[in-house]
Amino acid sequence: MPVRVYWEDTDAGGVVFYANYLKFFERARTEWLRRLGLNQHTLREQTGGMFVVSSAQIKYHQPARLDDLLTVTA
């Protein structure tokens, strides 16, 4: 799932602020569910269930910068 780095995602140095990677993960997860034909809002209304992230761990390998196109994978 490609995710573009926008100005709002970066700090003053043009590097992605560390916590914003979680937003990228959430965007990718939502798009993945859409591709599977699952709409989170509809799923919650119809079943009362929803996907919840109970923990997350991130290992940063290198910085992402303004206008980079990142690939988010599971």
The span from the CA of 28 to the CA of 50, in Å, is 16
Q: Quote the pTM value.
A: 0.78
The tally of domains found in the chain comes to 1
Query: pLDDT confidence of 69, banded at 50, 70, 90?
Result: very high
- The string of pLDDT tens digits covering residues 1-56 is 789 999 999 999 999 999 999 999 998 888 888 898 888 888 888 898 888 889 99
Helix (H, G, I), strand (E, B) or coil at 4: strand
Q: What is the predicted pLDDT for the residue at 30?
A: 87
Instruction: State yes or no: is 67 an active-site residue.
Output: no
The span from the CA of 7 to the CA of 67, in Å, is 8
The CATH number of whichever domain residue 61 belongs to comes to 3.10.129.10
Please tell me which residue in 9, 11, 67, 68 is annotated as part of the active site. Answer: 11
Contact of 63 with 9, CB cutoff 8 Å:
no
Q: Which range of residues forms the domain containing residue 17?
A: 2-71
